[in-house]
Structure 1
């Protein structure tokens, strides 16, 4: 039981990392199945277009799906085009908007990057696309450069074993081995580039953090607890309001008063949060409680006039910084 609790504790602390790992694993498995069951190179003049579509379009679909499933996307966009919205009408709001967009796309890019990386390492899509470009040279060498002349003209037929070509089978296999090597080299370069970029983004975000590592861990725990309690309180108050309205409707009695947040208060606690050194708040909810409710006069002087750091993302459940 103690070991189970330890594993559960580790899983909760590394929830974001495990989530990204699970997404990558599912995407890699899906690519393998997709490549084996659906993909079949036409071995015609459509090789390049067909292979490129299977390589990039699923990645684009996964990217869009990741953006759609990210709660922060809709928190950012809801009410953005409203005439009353002022979230991007000044420098601070623009910085917050841009940083959140970057974080959304970084989180959503895990699946498409995995798809492209695994597909290039597998080589099927690239082989099909590459054989559709008989006159294109990669890495300073063409697969048919030291082969007989029919190699270039029949290159588009090489991925399909059922097609008969005049090129000897040994040369055909050698050309396909070179193309697969090109695919795998490009795949590793893509993976290494993405990992390096992610490492640099993480380092920059950490360096810009206005708080210490220990306080950062406290902030993450607080955000998780607040979100869980917010869901609980939302359910309870929604149930009370629904029960009161139904009771009043069926019994034909005046409704009992229920204290609820105003529309403006909902809007304030739903705004994107940024960290301020002047006042130690960990969420928009805490900021509203300790300023607008305790001392309304302080509501207009809460900011410190600086662009918000990336670390504000924790209050919105993001994961740019692990």
Structure 2
């Protein structure tokens, strides 16, 4: 995401804020994240601005569906547990949640994330500007063990977190990060929604993504006078399991991102599809490499060189994925392109 001129604060009007209610959609597909899912729902019970409803969408998992129906009864906020009635995968599950939502703002929270109690409050504040189509949050990484010292903050996006180089105050951005985001319901219901060709599925182990980026770009193209904003005061914590703290996962995730960017660029055009990436590659990554070297030279942090090396490797892996994806036949989807390179 790229910083644009800052958005001025808008005074809060009770009449306006009363109409800015929230449906929060949480998509879940596996019982392996059961405890995290409970934490995600419970974090919504503690919001200073309570959601109108929480919608837990179970993605084609009957055992998980029954377990969730039993667990999420009689909570302090209304919780609806529904099935994904569309194609298996994150995009289909999100679209099922959108169809069931009734509030003015539809927020999305990952099933392995927990929201700070003021997440919806700060998110609502940003929506007071009627030009704002959607709002993103600060997503802090909650490593489920020691964080790898070689892991560069510039690549936090590989595990669903806010990365170094993003704005430090509220600012317009090209797209939101899907782990915690909110979009006006009228825009979502008036569009084709999330495209499943880009959404992740449990069947493909190589992590794919880009569906929220493509949606944001598509909405911006249709509403050029409006924009998305990043609100760093809105905060969530995103769990990161140690199986993602490996060089193997890191490089494959970067490669998959390149594949997804190539396919997304076909859908929305290279100018919009790669606008943020140009600034990121030319500014954030070179600064990160130099920072790692300085850390090693001046602070005697040997892991600094590892972080610099990871930035270079991550860029190369992403560029390779993009080139491979760009040369694939136009009728080949990102999912089928990567099916042969799944992680065991």
TM-score by length of 1: 0.23
Which structure features the higher share of helix residues?
Answer: 1
* Larger Cα-atom Rg: 1
